[in-house]
Structure 1
Amino acid sequence: MTVKKLGRPSLARQRRDEILLAMATVVARDGLPATTLAAVAEAAGLRRTLVLHYFRSRDELVAAFVEEVVSAYGREMIWGDPCLPAADRLDALFAPGAYADEADLRVWTELVTLASRDTAVRDRLRHLWADHWLPEAERQLAAEYPSAPSEDIAATAYTLACLVEAHWTFHLQGIAEPRRHHLHATATALLTRLSPPANHPDPAAP
């Protein structure tokens, strides 16, 4: 996963970013439960004591990884290109490249799997979905489909997220694209059930 850098980061910010990027590499390779501070330090080319200087414990490192790296990556996926209509942004979520690479998808799947056993990870992911990602998806849909009832907007945003998640989960399991295409088609049909976008008048209107 890519760690976003804005402007000229301080050395401390640069070191944190290097460690978090190394964390993503190790999680994709070894799985989150097997990810150790020593492994992250080795992947970052740093001493373990230096990793502990920036992250005082493994739990703190995992928390920062979810809250900074995973949060930013999910936000980027959901926002997409704001100049594109919702239908095009939805298509991009089902297309190759929605995840930067296979490693990013494995990292996300690792977190979801761990959430079933680790309440701290579950709480952090729930916070991202409930307080950030789903509200942003609803905001975007409401802006493009202003005549759609709020309950339809909320239900559509949630169901689209479920369909995208299922699409990529099946991808990891080797389910052939023709079968997964049905998920994309279902998502597109759900989107068209909303009112016409504000900049596309209803042709049936008088």
Structure 2
Amino acid sequence: MANSSELSIPRTEPDLATRRRAEILTGSIRVIARDGVVAAKLKDIARESGVSLGLVQHYFDTRDKLVDETFTVMMRAISQEAQRRLQGIEDPLELIYAMNALHVHGTIGFPERWGFWSELWAAAGRSEHLRGVSTQVYQLWAHPLEEALEVLSTTDRLPSGADPHRIATGVLALMDGLSIRTLADPEGISAEFMLQVLNDWVSTQLGVPPEVAARHVAALSHTTHPTAPRPLTPDVVAEALRTPHSTTSFQTAT
């Protein structure tokens, strides 16, 4: 079954230091999504965060440290939200459709979230360090997909010769390409259309009949989808800062 360990989210108000760090990191996410990693300047992040440049430098010694922590907190926020939304899904096939919906409709609004990740992919080609960060992001996304596909394989629910690793890689590559098209042409390529293409591709690769796929997708209306993404706020980031990092895991029911 899906990982049943419920995240313990602190309900107390964050302390001042955590609140300030969350404000700065929220501003950093927005600036990187808008301007890119390379062009993101501390003074612009300070302005977006509503704090002084000196305060940014107080909490983050260097620009590189701030960029690193920005990517780390974004990964943590998405990981913990994914764990919440995917809890209770016991069928591995349904989990895969749920992850498609999660990546499209997401935990944070589409333009900020996918704009942020697109900037990471672009910068990774010019920076060995950011290449390592992007690898961590892909591992975070690929792990639950591959785990669910492995369960389908061991229970003879994949077509003969189907490779879980290749299918997971294909899903993530298709997500990336469609997200860029959706960002560039939101009127021509909607998020709903992106999700439909992803689900159709997965169904074809896994040999799932249309009526079976439709049943699994419909079941998600009672679980993860259509939960609206949360606005990106310092409260969301502060929650991620205070929550230990974890990854979403899928195991067979016992």
TM-score by length of 1: 0.75
Show the 5 A alignment for 1:6-45.
Answer: 6-8=10-12, 9-45=14-50
Paired residues of 1:79 and 1:137 also in contact (CA < 8 A) = no
Q: Does 1:86 align with 2:95?
A: yes
CA shift in 2, pair 1:113/1:6, >3 Å = farther
Q: From the superposition, tell whether residues 120 and 162 of structure 1 become closer, same or farther in structure 2 (CA, over 3 Å).
A: same
Do structure 1's residue 140 and structure 2's residue 148 form an aligned pair?
Answer: yes
Q: Which residues of 2 match residues 12-161 of structure 1 at below 5 A?
A: 12-73=17-78, 76=81, 80-84=85-89, 85-93=94-102, 95-96=104-105, 100-130=109-139, 132-143=140-151, 146-148=154-156, 152-161=163-172
2:179 aligned partner:
168
Q: Work out the CA distance in 2 between the residues paired with 1:147 and 1:54.
A: 50
* Match of residue 202, structure 2, among 177, 183, 187: 187
Bigger mean CA offset, 171-180 vs 45-54? 171-180
Contact 2:149 2:164 in 1 (8 A): yes
Q: Which has the higher contact order (CA 8 A, sep 6+)?
A: 2
**Given that residues 27 and 49 in structure 2 are in contact (C-alpha distance below 8 angstroms), is that contact kept between their aligned partners in structure 1?**
yes
Report the CA distance between 1:32 and its aligned residue.
Answer: 2.2
Aligned CA distance change for structure 1 residues 79 and 7 (closer, same or farther; 3 Å): closer
Amino acid at match of 1:89: A
Offset of residue 139 of structure 1: 2.3
CA RMSD of aligned residues (A): 3.3
For 1:115 and 1:44, locate their aligned partners in 2 and report how far apart those are by CA, in whole Å: 25
Q: Residue deviations 1:66-122, cap 9 Å, x none?
A: 112134326645884233422531451475557523122211111111111122111
TM (normalized to structure 2)?
Answer: 0.62
Q: Which runs of 5+ in 2 are unaligned?
A: 1-8, 209-251
Gaps of 5+ in 1: 200-206
Q: Does the CA contact (< 8 Å) of 1:142 and 1:153 recur in 2?
A: yes
